[in-house]
Amino acid sequence: MKPVKWSNYLSAALAFVLVALFMVAPSPTYAEVDKSEEVEQGLRLVSPLLAERRVKDLRSHIQLMFESPHAVASDPRTPAGRADEFGGNFCAACHGDGFKHFFKVGEDVSASTVNDTCLNCHSGGDRMHWSGGPHEMGDMACVDCHSMHNKNERLLRTTTQLELCSSCHLERRADFNRPYHHPVKEGQMVCTDCHNPHGTVTPTLLRGSDVNETCYGCHAEHRGPFLWDHEPVREACINCHNPHGSVNTNMLVSRPAQLCQSCHITDTSHPADVMDGSTAGAMGNFDAMQVGRGCVNCHSQVHGSNHPGGAFFRK
Ligand code: HEC
Ligand code: HEC
Ligand code: HEC
Ligand code: HEC
Ligand code: HEC
Ligand code: HEC
Ligand code: HEC
Ligand code: HEC
Ligand code: HEC
């Protein structure tokens, strides 16, 4: 049964019950458990949908709302703090008058109605660029990531961001499981250190104005400018690094020698003293480029050099 149908003929009854229940604005000082029990019984009376849910589930669900930041009545910005504007019933700040909907996106409410409801209070700060961002364009709703009757940090649906985001971005779960990765699954970093999922000026939701500005936030030593700059570094760190994770050390996009050779053809132009074949092995000194850190064995200042003689990034 579509919630819309029962809500039509039950709205009168619902309004009556709710006015009775919310005459007194919730206060953190009295028995909140009793309160959620009372609310639960009232709701059950008017909604066949909710009546199907086990008593314990529904009551504890409502109880979580009373423990959330939205129910802090002493804060005049919260739904509870503004209960007067909603006829004394702060639930209406989100569910609408007479519980118009229960946030079943696509069933009893549209994504844009949900977003408008939340953005009424949360349009500033990180949400400045929500409109037109990839998640908004993907028809997502705030409640795809957030759950309001909940205890998780930032009211997220899941306890970790890795779990939340990679439920849709499956490849990210694989990336962060590679041997070399930013310590996200170790709990030392989160996706939102680099991304703002609400929307940004960049198409890939980066926190910084571009890739490099995002990286400099933590790796300031690579910011430069250097006396001798390496062009691909200034252009974008992701020319050489996969920011999520890689099978190569230092999260390089390919093995060190291959990486450099993707842009530099060294067998012809590399100085003869390096390529003179004096080292054992089928390829002579070329082996020095293949072992360990490869080219970086000699070109150790690959991010740029401030040394007067550092044009070739060797010092
Ligand atoms: C009537 C205004 C109002 C409405 C409507 C509202 N919120 Fe809030 N919300 C607040 C206030 C105020 C806080 C507490 C903010 C703080 O402490 O900085 C808050 C807290 C939050 C937090 C937790 C912030 C934190 O730091 O832990 C999230 C997430 C959030 N709201 C998301 C939503 C979503 C999603 C919706 C829509 C389903 C919504 N809010 C509807 C006012 C509102
Ligand atoms: C793609 C997932 C996703 C969507 C969609 C989303 N959020 Fe968030 N939101 C997050 C994550 C992750 C955090 C934690 C970020 C942090 O701690 O900086 C967060 C944090 C917040 C916070 C608390 C921190 C702050 O920035 O003030 C608020 C409030 C919030 N979101 C509101 C909203 C609203 C309103 C919408 C819908 C317009 C929304 N969110 C949509 C993932 C999402
Ligand atoms: C800040 C917005 C907000 C406020 C305030 C709020 N809710 Fe909710 N409510 C939601 C969202 C969003 C959902 C969808 C599930 C979720 O996010 O946890 C929901 C789900 C529910 C459900 C579950 C419906 C189902 O089918 O599972 C019930 C019941 C409910 N709310 C009752 C209440 C009551 C009662 C109050 C007031 C005490 C209240 N809500 C206050 C946002 C809110
Ligand atoms: C419910 C599914 C869903 C969840 C959860 C989700 N996303 Fe998305 N995300 C999408 C969709 C859909 C798009 C737009 C289509 C696309 O470009 O892949 C998108 C786009 C993006 C983009 C831009 C991709 C591009 O190629 O431009 C980034 C970055 C991103 N999401 C990061 C995140 C982060 C970080 C989180 C967790 C906080 C998250 N997403 C959670 C569905 C989701
Ligand atoms: C260290 C910074 C950093 C962290 C942490 C990070 N990302 Fe990214 N992410 C980036 C950069 C940089 C790009 C590439 C942007 C570009 O190409 O312009 C990117 C691109 C993306 C894209 C779009 C491109 C694609 O390949 O599909 C998605 C989706 C994404 N990240 C999701 C996530 C998720 C989910 C997490 C957490 C599990 C996460 N990211 C953590 C920096 C980061
Ligand atoms: C929020 C802080 C933060 C941001 C932003 C950040 N990093 Fe990191 N980065 C770290 C931390 C923490 C480590 C792990 C250091 C360690 O393990 O000692 C790390 C390690 C690395 C490493 C070495 C990995 C290894 O295998 O040892 C590389 C390369 C790197 N980051 C590149 C980047 C790039 C490229 C960006 C931008 C897309 C970026 N980082 C953005 C915090 C950050
Ligand atoms: C031309 C390829 C290339 C580009 C572009 C590049 N790096 Fe690197 N990066 C490397 C290589 C190669 C290593 C391994 C160095 C070694 O083994 O000593 C490395 C190592 C690192 C490390 C770990 C060791 C250290 O120096 O702390 C960090 C962090 C790092 N890079 C950050 C960045 C950032 C930030 C950017 C963008 C400003 C960037 N890289 C751009 C090739 C590159
Ligand atoms: C994405 C392409 C790209 C990658 C990958 C790359 N470089 Fe470069 N490199 C350049 C460009 C462009 C220049 C400057 C153009 C020029 O003068 O030839 C340059 C300049 C140099 C120079 C100075 C030489 C000169 O003629 O000015 C050295 C040395 C160098 N790179 C070494 C490396 C090493 C070592 C690696 C691997 C860690 C590497 N490069 C990876 C593009 C790249
Ligand atoms: C055994 C040390 C050594 C190794 C290993 C090495 N180089 Fe060099 N490279 C040099 C020296 C020495 C020069 C000459 C620069 C100078 O005169 O200071 C040079 C110069 C260069 C130049 C600038 C001249 C030119 O050919 O355009 C590039 C580019 C370069 N190397 C790339 C690489 C790449 C790519 C690798 C890995 C495949 C690599 N080098 C490995 C020592 C080395």
Measured CA distances, 33 to 40, 53, 92, 108, 138 (Å)? 10, 18, 20, 28, 39
Rounded CA gap, 299 and 263, in Å?
A: 15
Q: Which of 146-150, 209-213, 266-270, 310-314 has the lowest mean pLDDT?
A: 266-270
pLDDT on residue 107: 87
- The torsion angle over the Cα atoms of residues 269, 274, 280 and 281, rounded to 10 degrees, is -20
This prediction's pTM: 0.91
Is 301's pLDDT higher than 50? yes
Which structure tokens are listed for 23?
């005459």
Closest CA to ligand 1's atom 3: 121
25 lines ligand 5 (CB under 6 A): no
Ligand 9 nearest-atom number relative to CA 285 = 1
Q: Which ligand is nearest to the CA of 126?
A: 2
Rounded CA gap, 211 and 259, in Å?
A: 19
Question: Which of the four pLDDT bands, split at 50, 70 and 90, describes residue 280?
Answer: very low
pLDDT on residue 42: 79
250 lines ligand 6 (CB under 6 A): yes
Mean pLDDT across 257-274 = 71
Closest CA to ligand 7's atom 40: 237
Is 29's pLDDT higher than 60? no
Distance 28 CA to ligand 7 centre (A): 52
Distance 220 CA to ligand 8 centre (A): 21
Residues lining ligand 3, judged by CB closer than 6 Å? 39, 43, 49-50, 61-62, 65, 70, 79, 90-91, 93-95, 102-103, 143, 147-150
Cβ pair 305, 299 in contact under 8 A = no
Q: What is the pLDDT of residues 184-206, one digit of tens each?
A: 999 999 999 999 999 999 989 99
Distance 130 CA to ligand 7 centre (A): 32
Distance 182 CA to ligand 6 centre (A): 6
Helix axes 55-66, 32-46, angle to 10 degrees: 120
Cβ pair 58, 44 in contact under 8 A = yes
Cβ pair 69, 146 in contact under 8 A = no
Closest CA to ligand 8's atom 6: 260
Distance 257 CA to ligand 7 centre (A): 14
Distance 142 CA to ligand 4 centre (A): 13
Rounded CA gap, 120 and 140, in Å?
A: 17
Residues comprising the chain, all counted: 315
Residue 280 or 21, more confident: 21
Residues lining ligand 4, judged by CB closer than 6 Å? 134-135, 138, 140, 144-145, 161, 164-165, 167-169, 191, 195, 197, 203-205
Which of 129, 155, 159, 169 for a ligand 4 pocket mutation test, highest count of atoms within 8 Å of Cβ? 169
Closest CA to ligand 4's atom 17: 134
Q: What is the pLDDT of residues 212-248, one digit of tens each?
A: 999 999 999 999 899 999 999 999 999 999 999 999 9
